[in-house]
């Protein structure tokens, strides 16, 4: 009698221990804590170093930044100090800019009125009409006036 009940007790303890083990490991193996893909909305996201990757549409994004607003809606073009620029703003140059392929230099401090933002030209993103002509300049060299 005694050996038999001891065996059952042992089996019960073993079973409970196993369940606890599985429960403890659960959160580590599930992907439910990863965000869904901001591009296609699928939830097959997996981490790869600093990035999260969606196998469904191959979108990659940073695990640390929330779905960035660069991907959704128009890009915000900012001046050298991070102030958002808008069409029609006036800006000042914060450094001399040499115009490629010419000897023209647009001087630091030059004021440009009525800029136009350009979204499809890389980092040359501000269309400026100056006394010396029309140029597309980098917003990082401009300061909102
Ligand atoms: Zn996706």
| Residue 59 per-residue DSSP state | -
Q: Of 1-5, 31-35, 123-127, where does the model show the most confidence?
A: 123-127
- Domains, the chain, in order of start with CATH, read 27-73 (2.20.25.10), 91-144 (2.30.30.40)
Q: Ligand 1: distance of its center to the CA of 30 in Å? A: 18
Residue 87 carries which DSSP code?
T
Question: What is the C-alpha to C-alpha distance for residues 52 and 64, in angstroms, rounded to an integer?
Answer: 9
**Of residues 49 and 7, more confidently modeled:** 49
Task: Supply the pLDDT for residue 77.
Answer: 94
Residues 6+ apart with CB under 8 A from 64: 50
pLDDT(30) > 90: no
Q: CB within 8 A of 35, min separation 6: which ones? A: 45, 52, 67
Q: How far, in Å, is the centroid of ligand 1 from the Cα of 53? A: 8
How far apart CA 51 and CA 68 sit, in angstroms, is 13
Over residues 63-77, the mean pLDDT reads 64
User: How does pLDDT run across 79-107, given as a tens digit for each residue?
Assistant: 999 999 999 999 999 999 988 788 889 99
Cα 85 to Cα 125: distance, rounded to the nearest angstrom = 10
Residue whose structure tokens are 């659960």: 26
Angle at 138 between CA 132 and CA 142, to 5 degrees: 75
| Cα 56 to middle of ligand 1, angstroms | 5
Is residue 21's pLDDT more than 70? no
Q: Please tell me the distance between residue 52's alpha carbon and the centre of ligand 1 in angstroms.
A: 10
């Amino acid at each position: 009698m005694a050996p038999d009940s001891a065996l059952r007790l042992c089996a019960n303890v073993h079973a409970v221990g196993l369940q606890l083990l599985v429960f403890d490991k659960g959160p580590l193996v599930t992907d439910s804590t990863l965000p869904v893909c901001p591009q296609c909305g699928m939830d097959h996201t997996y981490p790869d170093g600093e990035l999260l990757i969606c196998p469904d549409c191959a979108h990659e994004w940073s695990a640390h930044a929330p779905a960035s607003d660069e991907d959704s809606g128009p890009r915000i073009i900012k001046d050298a100090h991070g102030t958002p620029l808008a069409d029609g703003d006036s800006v000042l140059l914060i450094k001399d800019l040499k115009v490629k392929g010419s000897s023209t230099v647009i001087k630091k401090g030059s004021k440009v009125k009525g800029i136009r933002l350009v979204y499809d030209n890389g980092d040359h993103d501000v269309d400026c009409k100056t006394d010396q002509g029309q140029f597309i300049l980098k917003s990082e060299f401009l300061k909102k006036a």
